[in-house]
Structure formats: C-alpha cells, structure tokens
Amino acid sequence: MTQPDPYGDLAPRRRLVVTLALLGCAFVAMLDGTVIGTALPRIVAQIGGGGTWYVWLVTAYLLTSSVSVPIYGRFSDLYGRRHLLLGGLAIFLAGSLACGMAGSMLALIVCRAVQGLGAGALLTLGMSLIRDLYPPSRAQGLIRMQTLLAGMMVLGMVGGPVIGGLLADNAGWRWAFWINLPIGIAAGLTIALALPQRRPANAPNGKLDTGGIVLLVAGLSLLLTGFSLRGNAIDGATPSWTDPSVAGCLLGGLAVLGLLVVVERRAAVPVVPLRLFRHRSYSALLAAGFFFQVAALPVGVFLPLYFQHDRSHTATVSGLLLLPLLIGMTLGNRLTAAAIIRGGRAKPALLAGAALLAAGTAAFFALGASTPLPLTCLWLLLIGLGTGPAMGGITIATQYCVPHADMGTATSGSTLTKQIGGAFGLACAQSLMTRPDATIGTTIAIGGTIAGLSALVCLLFMRNVAITGPAKPATAPKPSAATA
C-alpha cells in the first residue's frame, strides 16, 4: 500500500530546516530527563530538600512526560500534529522558565511536572512529523533523519549530566533549565513559520473520550509511581515489591487500566483504540520495545558505578568509557534503518538486535574488578549495536504495521512502552542488587539476558512488516526474437 506524502509540496531546503527544528525539540526533551542529576547537589544546597524530595523531583518529569504521550499521539491523529506540537513546546518552555525561578523544592517539583506535560508532545509528535516529512518515497532522507534522531537522543542522554554539571559549577543551576529557552524558541518559530498545518483525512467524529483519558492518566501514573518508588533508594533504603506504597500503586494501576479496557470498548472515539492490538505485529513490537529498554537502561545507570567504585576511575573517565555503548547505539540505529527501508523487511534486523543485546549483557556474568577494559568496551559495543534497533527500527516498523491514520497513536504507544520498560528495568535491577551475592556485572547480566531473550521471543510472533519504499523506475522490455 502506498503511503501518502502530506508534505510533498514542501521545498527541500524548507523541509530540512523544519527537520532540524523537530530534532531540536526532541533534544531538549531528552536533555531535561537527565540534566537534573549532576545539578542536584547545588540545588539542594541552595533551596533545600533531601532524599525523598529527590525521588519526586525525578519522578515528576518522568510521570507527566509519560502519561501525556498517548494523549498527544491520539489527538494528533484526530486533529493534526503542528498545533499540538507548538502547544506542547510552549508548555515545556513555560515550565523551564518557572523551574529556573523556583525558590523551594516543592515549587521546583511542580514546575518539573509542567515541563513533563510539554515534553510528551516533543518526544512523540517530533518523531511522527519526521515520519510525515520523510515517507517511503523519500527513503534515503528517512535513513539520514533516523541517524540524526538517534544522535540527538544519545547526546541528550549523555550530554545531560555533563551540561548540568558544567552549568551548575559555572553559571548556576538555574541555567540547566533556562538553556532550553533559546533552543526551544528558535525551534518553535521555525516550525510556526515553515511547517504548514495538515489536517488528517477521514478523522472520526464523535464525543471526546473524557473517561478514557482520566483512566489512562490515573492508571499510568500509579504504575510509574510504583516503579519509581521501587527503583529509588530513600535515605539509603530501597522499598520492597511488597511495600504497601509500591504494591498499592502497582495493583491500583493495573486495576484502573483494566477498567480502561472496558470503557474503551464502548467509546465512539477511544483515546486508546483497542483495534490496533488486533494487529499481531503491533502488539509484538510494543512488547519487544518494552523488553529492549528493560535490558538496556540499567547498563547506562549501573556501569558508571562499577567504573568509579570497582576500578577507581573518575566520573569523567567513567563517562568516556561508555562511549562504545553510545557508538554502538548510533551505528546500530543507522544500520537498522537502512536495512529496514532498503530491504523492505523489518523482522530480520530487529531479531539480530535482540540477539546481540542478549549476548552482550550475558557477557557481563564474567565482569570483575580485573576484567580488561578493552573486553568490557567490546561488550558495551555489542549491547549498543543490539539496542540501536529499538531506538528507530521498532518505531519505523510500528508506524508501518498500522493504518497511516493511526500513526501518531502507534508512535506514542511505542514511546510509552519503552519508557515504562526503562522504569521497570531499573526497579528490577535495584531488586537484584539487594541480594547478598549481587554484583553490578551479575545484575546487568541476569536482567539483560532474560529481557533480551524475551524481546527475541516477542519478535518471533510479529509478521514480517513490509516497508514500502520508493517506486523503482520501470525498465523497457527486451525485444524478443519474434519482434527482432
């Protein structure tokens, strides 16, 4: 089936400028998810707050940026993406400005939650618009954009702690939030002036699914809060899975999401179209994306602790030692996007990624204080190459396995399940670390191997999604002997 090109009339230079603005939006959203870590000691010294407040400072952004993702995605399919993206960007920038002006930890937490509400649009609609700008007929451009998007995501994840530390030490911690303003304003003006609004064709008409939105937000909030409480140590102690606060949030979240299914079956225009889950490939890809993040995220969180505590490296050196992971992620994403779009099939590349991820994490069973650093870097490169397919490949395949009218919803579903997978993976890793014989190596290996193999199994159930590339030029038939 030929996919439409909603921006076919856009000049190449204008298309490129808009794409760079969209990448800038994704960058600031990713950056603010990590920038707070190294700036936190300076924040606490100036406005107060302890371990409990720290958990909520991190959780507030994760919570609102995650629960708003499916709402932005669904509404973009119904009403268009440009206005929603600009609205989300305005909320994000207002939250950034307010964070920098906060005078107490409680005010900062509230402002971080506002930031997250806007970030949900930047993460989801930015990727959806890039896909709109580069349909299959512009396959080469889509490959380049996926590479740039992966680079922006990696830069946001890694650059956040570095930028946060530099700004806190030299310009003041408030600039860790105010730095978003020039980037965001420039991106917003570019999108407002250069990107025309495209209303979706054949969008369904009906009453707004208010009940579904409330249940979705409540259920996801409870789940993510439970995972965050389980994965964060408060005053040196990590609550168990059976702790009333953790278990109550998780069980309550599952119950509310179960009620959501009942409500969505009857909604005229559901916020979560359950019919999408009838696509076997869509369900398999969501589950695989979840397990990819369960396996990969603890590596980036726990391995710096190994380099600093077990190998006595500085924070700067431990960050540099993660470069093989980041190089592998960027390279894996680039190769996956090229293989999917040029080969026309998604399944082989994704299966290879899951296998590499499981093999790379399993190697960490052998990690010890005397493990040669080149060998550790090789394992990290394998994990990066395995994680790369989850960054762009799963999103591309998800977008192609559903009707184009549901692309925003599909993209948001992929983003959301990865975020939930990351939170669940960190919670499970913290649980493994509480064992008496636990080490960072065995924690990464156990969780990563199980999750990597689970992703592999999920992908086996997907159909080999066909990616429709640009039409090949017809060749004239060779003359036959009869006509010669």
3-state secondary structure of 197: coil
pLDDT given for residue 169 in this prediction: 67
Q: Which residues of 330-362 are buried (b: 16+ CB within 10 A; e: fewer)?
A: bbbbbbbbbbbbeeeebbebbbbbbbbbbbbbb
Q: What is the CATH number of domain 273-468?
A: 1.20.1250.20
- Phi/psi-derived region of residue 473, left when phi > 0, alpha when psi is between -120 and 50, beta in every other case: beta
pLDDT given for residue 138 in this prediction: 65
pLDDT given for residue 233 in this prediction: 63
- Average pLDDT value over all residues in the chain: 81
pLDDT given for residue 382 in this prediction: 93
Span 168-188, average pLDDT:
85
pLDDT given for residue 182 in this prediction: 93
| 94-104 confidence digits (pLDDT tens) | 999 999 898 88
Listed by start position, the domains of the chain span: 10-195, 209-268, 273-468
Close Cβ partners of 371 (under 8 Å, ≥ 6 residues apart)? none
Q: Would you give the distance in Å from CA 150 to the centre of its chain?
A: 10
Q: How confident is the model at residue 114 (pLDDT cuts 50, 70, 90)?
A: very high
* Max CA distance (Å), the chain: 91
Query: Would the pLDDT of 482 be above 50?
Result: no
Which tokens sit at 435?
């064992």
- Residue 475 has a CB neighbour count (10 Å cut-off) of 6
pLDDT given for residue 478 in this prediction: 45
Domain 10-195 identical in fold to domain 273-468? yes
Span 97-114, average pLDDT:
90
Q: How confident is the model at residue 168 (pLDDT cuts 50, 70, 90)?
A: low
3-state secondary structure of 208: strand
pLDDT given for residue 475 in this prediction: 42
CA-wise closest residue to 395 among 470, 297, 286, 296? 286
Span 284-297, average pLDDT:
92
Whole-angstrom distance, CA of residue 339 vs CA of residue 349 = 7
Span 48-73, average pLDDT:
77
pLDDT given for residue 205 in this prediction: 64
Backbone angles phi, psi at 5, to 5 degrees: -115, 90
pLDDT given for residue 93 in this prediction: 95
Q: How confident is the model at residue 284 (pLDDT cuts 50, 70, 90)?
A: very high
Whether the CA torsion 283, 289, 291, 292 is positive or negative: it is positive
| 242-256 confidence digits (pLDDT tens) | 888 889 999 999 999
Query: Would the pLDDT of 425 be above 50?
Result: yes
Burial class (CB in 10 A: 0-12, 13-18, 19+), 228: buried
Q: Please spell the DSSP secondary structure of 439-478, one letter per residue.
A: -HHHHHHHHHHHHHHHHHHHHHTS---B---PPPPP-PPP
Q: How confident is the model at residue 177 (pLDDT cuts 50, 70, 90)?
A: confident
| 222-241 confidence digits (pLDDT tens) | 998 888 888 776 655 677 88
pLDDT given for residue 186 in this prediction: 94
Q: How far is CA 358 from CA 104, 415, 435, in A?
A: 44, 21, 22
Q: Which percentage of the chain shows pLDDT scores above 90?
A: 24
Span 82-94, average pLDDT:
94
Which tokens sit at 482?
């009869």
Q: HSE-up of 466 (CA within 13 Å, CB side)? A: 5
Q: Please write down the long-range contacts of 149-152, taking CB distance under 8 Å and 24 or more positions apart.
A: 149/23, 149/26, 149/391, 149/392, 150/329, 150/330, 150/333, 150/334, 150/388, 150/391, 150/392, 151/330, 152/23, 152/26, 152/27, 152/30
Q: Which of the two residues, 216 and 396, has the higher pLDDT score?
A: 216
Whole-angstrom distance, CA of residue 331 vs CA of residue 384 = 8
**Which H helix or E strand runs over 242?**
none
Span 327-336, average pLDDT:
82
Query: Would the pLDDT of 129 be above 50?
Result: yes
Q: How confident is the model at residue 3 (pLDDT cuts 50, 70, 90)?
A: low
3-state secondary structure of 382: helix
- Helices 12-34 and 139-170 cross at an angle (nearest 10°) of 40
- Phi/psi-derived region of residue 209, left when phi > 0, alpha when psi is between -120 and 50, beta in every other case: beta
Q: Taking a C-beta distance cutoff of 8 angstroms, is the pair 299, 325 a contact?
A: yes
Query: Would the pLDDT of 303 be above 70?
Result: yes
Q: Which of the two residues, 453 and 71, has the higher pLDDT score?
A: 453
Query: Would the pLDDT of 84 be above 50?
Result: yes
Whole-angstrom distance, CA of residue 72 vs CA of residue 78 = 10
Whole-angstrom distance, CA of residue 292 vs CA of residue 452 = 6
Query: Would the pLDDT of 412 be above 90?
Result: no
Whole-angstrom distance, CA of residue 294 vs CA of residue 291 = 5
CA-wise closest residue to 121 among 25, 20, 217, 222? 25
Query: Would the pLDDT of 470 be above 60?
Result: no
Q: Taking a C-beta distance cutoff of 8 angstroms, is the pair 91, 383 a contact?
A: no
Q: In sequence order, which ranges of 200-276 are alpha helices (DSSP H)? A: 210-231, 244-266
Q: Which percentage of the chain shows pLDDT scores above 70?
A: 81
Q: Please spell the DSSP secondary structure of 300-360, one letter per residue.
A: HHHHHHIIIIIS---HHHHHHTTHHHHHHHHHHHHHHHHHHHHHSBSHHHHHHHHHHHHHH
Which amino acid, 190? T
Q: What does the radius of gyration of the chain's CA atoms come to, in whole angstroms?
A: 23
CATH fold of 10-195: Growth Hormone; Chain: A; (1.20.1250)
